[in-house]
Chain A
């Protein structure tokens, strides 16, 4: 199982967050999310107070998975961009480096063209960061982890406490 696990440390998280803040500003977007392909929210930028981010992450991943299924039926590897237009808000969903999903929600203060352009730029930087995360995970697998793992000492009692 471990070879598939995504582990995020403070350092990478900060860099991702900076990238998202920059994109949020440059694309004039309302809200941004970064979600992994299994539906877990990684990071967000903008005003997320009125949005159920967990549900949004899971549904977005479902959406991408379904679209990917359609793509394969048609002999495409993947459709990398999804766009939904609403009355007020629009949503631009793109796949980054085959691994993570970038969701940009924007209204009339921005435009699809601008969002596409800025997303493309940000994708390159984000791909680099995620490449590094993978490399780091690989290295740790070989050399062992530097930090003490918090899970090494999970006990029956810890788990029972969750279900009290």
Chain B
């Protein structure tokens, strides 16, 4: 649910980073935070445990610029990836405008990826959304590791509808902005369609 404020001339859109535990959702946000100027970003809020695992969500507000005289703000959220935080994950999806699925490319994490994407579909359905109808981008993360699955295999498993996908190494920033830009573009075009 984007929020269009004609009074302050702002558009707010919500983008959620989803994926299995330790796939790099928070790392994506941290890299975006590091690489944007102070005028473009707000505080990066992380509700995490003592061992830096996401407990509830991370939140990063971004104001990248104007379109047609409207300030475009993106609110980026991550969900807690660990399986037992299912109830919290569901809450974060409320009002989502676009989803990024961060997949862990390591072969031994394929099952976790598939479980997570199923979980995403179920949770979206509970809020009345369909993944197929939402702006959706996939990032195959951790491509720098030695034991990664081939990309076509990952796409066959996780991306049957051939949505836009990118290779990523969130630690070094590879693919991070490409992913964000792609989902942002889809969200804004969706707005264009609706109005």
Report A's interface with B, CB cutoff 8 A: 1-2, 4-10, 13-14, 36-40, 42, 52, 54-55, 58-59, 62, 65-66, 68-69, 145, 149-154, 156, 158-159, 161-163
Whether B185 contacts A159 by the Cβ 8 Å rule is yes
Chain A residues contacting B92 (CB-CB under 8 Å) are 62, 65
Report the interface size class on chain B.
35 or more
Known: A39-B59, A40-B3, A152-B195. 18 other contacts (CB 8 A): A5-B2, A6-B1, A6-B4, A36-B95, A38-B3, A39-B14, A40-B12, A52-B43, A54-B61, A55-B43, A69-B87, A151-B67, A151-B188, A154-B192, A158-B67, A159-B188, A163-B180, A163-B184
Chain A residues contacting B190 (CB-CB under 8 Å) are 1
Whether B192 contacts A5 by the Cβ 8 Å rule is no
Whether B91 contacts A159 by the Cβ 8 Å rule is no
The contact of B72 among A9, A40, A66, A162, by CB within 8 Å, is A162
Whether B5 contacts A163 by the Cβ 8 Å rule is no
- CB within 8 Å of A: which of B36-93? 42-43, 45, 47, 56-57, 59, 61, 64-65, 67-70, 72, 75, 87-88, 90-92
Q: Which residue of A has the minimal Cβ distance to B91?
A: A65
Q: State A62–B93 Cα separation when bound (angstroms).
A: 11
* CB of B151 within 8 Å of the partner chain: no
Whether A55 contacts B194 by the Cβ 8 Å rule is no
Q: State A79–B185 Cα separation when bound (angstroms).
A: 37
Could you list 9 A-B pairs, sorted by A, with CB under 8 Å?
A: A1-B97, A5-B194, A8-B3, A10-B6, A40-B3, A54-B42, A54-B61, A159-B184, A162-B67
Q: How far is the CB of B111 from chain A (nearest CB, A)?
A: 27
The contact of A66 among B88, B95, B133, B184, by CB within 8 Å, is B88
Whether B95 contacts A9 by the Cβ 8 Å rule is no
Whether A153 contacts B68 by the Cβ 8 Å rule is yes
Are A8 and B6 CB-contacts (below 8 A) given A40-B75, A54-B61, A66-B56? yes
Whether B4 contacts A8 by the Cβ 8 Å rule is yes
Chain B residues contacting A66 (CB-CB under 8 Å) are 56, 88, 91
Whether A62 contacts B87 by the Cβ 8 Å rule is no
